[in-house]
């Protein structure tokens, strides 16, 4: 894998709550320079001129505890403001309660509100048991998601792990893609996640990782 191919798997991410429009402009400039696939920013910072990069944003972030209607409204507004992709957070309380029909309905509400965007469902894998990871992936698939994603990067239980990525990939097969995000800070970690089945990576330290690949 060469530098360009790897960069095209990256969502160059800025989700700090204190991020400003100037910070986003710098992110876009940096992303163009690095050749990444997409930028990922908070919905309040849309719309932007991403200069040819895909624009991803988040929904129900970071807790996932919003109502389905709130998430749907947020997703629809983001799509209207130019988002190409939406990374939504699953309702962890419903997951832990085993309310899988409600989990599926929550995801479907976002899918239906923004039918033309790429939908990634953040399952917060570090907070789930292996069985819950499998069931969360299956619910995401049934509700029409395009990706399952490991983590917000904000949960105290941690971010992406190789075990979670492998389990997610084994569950969804070729029907959905897998995005690994949260705590990925080295080239070796990126390559291991890709080997485990990830096809997209969410990163903030993009430049430093690409600098390792000569």
pLDDT of residue 8: 98
Question: How large is the average pLDDT for residues 40-57?
Answer: 98
How far is residue 126's CA from residue 62's CA, in Å, rounded to a whole number? Answer: 14
Query: pLDDT per residue over 167-189, tens digit each?
Result: 999 999 999 999 999 999 999 99
How far is residue 173's CA from residue 196's CA, in Å, rounded to a whole number? Answer: 12
> Is pLDDT at 81 greater than 80 in this prediction?
yes
Instruction: Tell me the residue ranges of DSSP E strands in the chain.
Output: 10-14, 38-41, 54-59, 85-89, 118-122, 147-149, 177-181, 200-203
SS (H, E, C) 45-95: HCCCCCCCCEEEEEECCCCCCCCHHHHHHHHHHHHHCCCCEEEEECCHHHH
* 114 phi, psi to nearest 5 deg: -135, 70
pLDDT of residue 164: 98
pLDDT band of 140, cuts 50, 70, 90:
very high
Instruction: Tell me the residue ranges of DSSP E strands in 42-188.
Output: 54-59, 85-89, 118-122, 147-149, 177-181
pLDDT of residue 1: 85
pLDDT of residue 213: 86
pLDDT of residue 181: 98
pLDDT band of 10, cuts 50, 70, 90:
very high
Q: How many other β-carbons are positioned within 10 Å of the β-carbon of residue 61?
A: 20
- According to DSSP, the β-strands at 54-59 and 85-89 are parallel
H helices of 143-184, in order, are 162-172
> Is pLDDT at 106 greater than 90 in this prediction?
yes
Q: Any idea how long the chain is? A: 214
Question: How large is the average pLDDT for residues 59-74?
Answer: 98
Q: H/E element holding 182?
A: none
Q: What's the mean per-residue pLDDT of the chain?
A: 97
Q: Which two tokens stand for residue 176?
A: 């959905």
pLDDT of residue 78: 98
pLDDT of residue 191: 97
How far is residue 48's CA from residue 6's CA, in Å, rounded to a whole number? Answer: 24
SS3 content of the chain, % helix, strand, coil (to 5): 45, 15, 35
Please tell me the pTM assigned to this model.
0.97
User: Contact, 43 vs 56, CB < 8 A?
Assistant: no
Query: pLDDT per residue over 67-80, tens digit each?
Result: 999 999 999 999 99
What domains lie within the chain, and their CATH numbers? 3-211 (3.20.20.70)
Q: Mind telling me the catalytic residues? A: 87, 149, 179
> Is pLDDT at 21 greater than 80 in this prediction?
yes
Angle among Cα 155, 144, 148 to the nearest 5 degrees reads 30
Question: How large is the average pLDDT for residues 25-44?
Answer: 98
First CA to last CA across the chain, in angstroms? 11
pLDDT of residue 175: 97
């Amino acid at each position: 894998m060469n530098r360009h191919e790897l960069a095209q798997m990256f969502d160059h991410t800025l989700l700090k709550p204190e991020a400003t429009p100037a910070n986003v402009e710098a992110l876009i400039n940096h992303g163009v320079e690095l050749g990444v696939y997409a930028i990922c920013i908070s919905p309040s910072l849309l719309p932007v001129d991403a200069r040819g990069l895909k624009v991803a944003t988040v929904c129900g972030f970071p807790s996932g505890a919003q109502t389905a209607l709130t998430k749907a409204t947020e997703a629809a507004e983001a799509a209207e403001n130019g988002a190409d992709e939406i990374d939504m957070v699953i309702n962890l309380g419903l997951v832990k309660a085993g309310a899988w029909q409600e989990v599926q309905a929550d995801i479907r509400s976002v899918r239906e509100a923004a039918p033309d965007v790429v939908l990634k469902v953040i399952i917060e894998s570090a907070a789930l048991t292996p069985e819950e990871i499998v069931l969360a992936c299956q619910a995401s698939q049934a509700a029409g998601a395009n990706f399952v994603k490991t983590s917000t990067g904000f949960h105290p239980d941690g971010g992406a792990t190789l075990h979670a990525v492998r389990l997610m990939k084994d569950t969804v097969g070729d029907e959905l893609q897998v995005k690994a995000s949260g705590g990925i800070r080295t080239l070796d970690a990126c390559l291991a996640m890709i080997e485990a089945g990830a096809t997209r990576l969410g990163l903030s330290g993009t430049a430093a990782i690409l600098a390792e690949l000569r």
